[in-house]
Amino acid sequence: MTIKFRWLDEPPDLSGDTYDEPPRWPEWLLQRHRGRMLLPSEAAPAVGVPDQPDQPAEPFAVPIESTAYRADTLLIPNVLLRNQPLVSAIQQAAGVVFQLPPPLTKVLPADQADHLDEIPRPVALTPADLTSPALVDAWTALRRIRSAVGRNELRWQDGKGNEVTPSLEQRKWLLEVSLDHLLLGAYGGVPVWEQDDVPGQAPSGGYRPEGRHPIAALVGLPKRDESEVFVMADGTKRRPVVAVLDTGVRDHPWFVVPLEVIKDGGSESFLHLSVPTQEALKAHQPVVAGLPHTNVLFDYHDVPIFAEELSDRVNRAVGHGTFIAGLIHQHAPDADVLSLRVMRSDNVGYESDVLLALWLLVDRVKLAQRDPANAWEMIDVVSISLGYYHETWRAEKLARLSAVIKELTSLGVVVVAAAGNDSSRRPFLPAAIASLTTSLPLVVGVGAANPNATTSWYSNGGASASAEAPGTCVVSIFPPDIDGSRSPSDKAASDGRQSVDEDSFSSGFALWSGTSFAAPVLAAAVARKLVEIGASTELTQQATVDRALAALRRLAGTSLIAEFNDLDARIKLAGKDQSERRSKLKKRLKDEKKSVDQ
């Protein structure tokens, strides 16, 4: 297996002039998720505000690029929502009325509520004047809020009738109010959709290399080695854990026992589920009138199977999470997989759901690092196979995903994200965070490679792909109960022979393509290296960070092609002379290979 690392010792070109525009979302999909396309030719520019001016400053225009977002929802930090007078002032500035989500304290365990202030909550917007024909638009509301913050126009009365303005701390949080972006799963070829596409799986007259195909895989369940585990300081054992944020899972023989048994814990399966996290995700979204029932993440089940009830057309991303879990188990059988459902089976996720899931993972890791008795809560690698294109070019500064991923990597968690499938250089988040900032060496954006180790035609490049791994025409497990309406193209009534039924997955295996699958392959490779170097380990923050960096160095050092694999030097030598940088990198690489061999 070939894994290529392309760590950049020079910042990527962020001018935006040469970026290819990804395809526009089809209208039916936007309507399903109450979404809207933000287009530079049709929308007002973003409102820029100086970070911390000493006095009110006139906001300035910031050019935008296309993105997809929830038209009637804003992401507002939880800390602001607890201040009712401030909430009223924000509503007045935005010209809308907020429909607040339920408090997370009602559904979260006390030991997983450390970061409630930082968590951006999805707040539904309704018109301030129900008699007005004006439409509610989150982008318009966001521009008004940022403009009011820049001009210091937010005002409210305290309990004594005194006029109050936001403090510097409140102002910082106010500038983090943002759109709730719509995220796409990164599977398939270019494009994932056409603008005039129809729901469900696109019809096909035969084999499509980028498509999802049932296959007969003559392989058994990978064997696990009890010796290939982490031995903790107190003598207890645990396996490395890869958290997968995706569509959830469906039952499969490789999981050994039914999901209903796995969710209660204590099973022998490599798969794990988190009921508390799924309960929090279910309670996270405000119940908006008209929101389709299937848009709510009720639990870990990958549902619904069909895009349309009457046509039995298989949903585009159903089986996505199961397929990814199988890839990780094939390449790292001694690791466990924690499946978290944040994406719907139509291939769409909400940024708010992904953010909540990631912040809850931060709490889990901190809980494990505080007390070895909670080692079972530990997460070693996070695999994310979905993402989006931010509306402004300084995406790494403005994206809420950057903050939580920075927190995770500071704890020693390796974050691996798919680069996207639009054959574009435009930064695809969160994958591009790996290259857009030198402060997060434990983030890897992964492009897809073909079976012959060449770059896949559809795979994004530029800042989004700091590495490549096999992602095209890969084989993994697939829910065997999936059987759609498409039938074999040829049947013989005489003896029952027929051509392949592309919608019947009773074999339990499939072939699929996408950077969605390159990311978990690399995540599994990291998990393998963690096991190799972690024969005896502890869970302190520094020990976890050191182990993660060593695993990435070892993985890059054993790649068939490793163009640049020194993570520390990428930070420490930034901005120095190119020749000096190269010579030091070569020396450090040579020394590190010696230490790894020892």
Residues with active-site annotation: 246, 320, 516
Please confirm whether the linkage preceding 441 is cis (ω < 30° from 0). no
Cα 38 to Cα 68, 391, 409, 430, 435: the distances in Å are 6, 8, 31, 19, 25
User: In the structure encoding, which two tokens stand for residue 503, read together?
Assistant: 């919608």
Q: Which 8-state DSSP code applies to residue 191?
A: -
- Report yes or no: 328 and 383 within 8 Å, Cβ to Cβ: yes
- Report yes or no: 98 and 75 within 8 Å, Cβ to Cβ: no
Query: Can you give 4-72 as a three-state secondary structure string?
Result: EEECCCCCCCCCCCCCCCCCCCCHHHHHHCCEEEECCCCCCCEEECCCCCCCCCCCEEECCCCEEEEEE
Spatial neighbors of 429 by CB under 8 A, at least 6 apart, are: 387, 388, 389, 390, 395, 399, 401
For 153-305, where are the E strands, in sequence order? 156-157, 163-164, 178-185, 213-214, 230-232, 237-238, 241-246, 271-273
Cα 581 to Cα 206, 441, 462: the distances in Å are 51, 17, 21
Where does 119-204 have alpha helices with state H? 138-150, 168-174
Q: Which 8-state DSSP code applies to residue 135?
A: P
Kindly state the greatest CA–CA separation across the chain.
89
* Closest by Cα among 418, 381, 397, 396 to 517: 418
For 165-317, where are the E strands, in sequence order? 178-185, 213-214, 230-232, 237-238, 241-246, 271-273, 306-308, 313-314
**Regarding beta strands 120-127 and 348-350, do their DSSP bridges make them parallel or antiparallel, or are they unpaired?**
unpaired
CA–CA gap between residue 596 and residue 352 (Å, rounded): 40
- Other beta carbons within 10 angstroms of residue 461's beta carbon come to 18
CA–CA gap between residue 328 and residue 164 (Å, rounded): 53
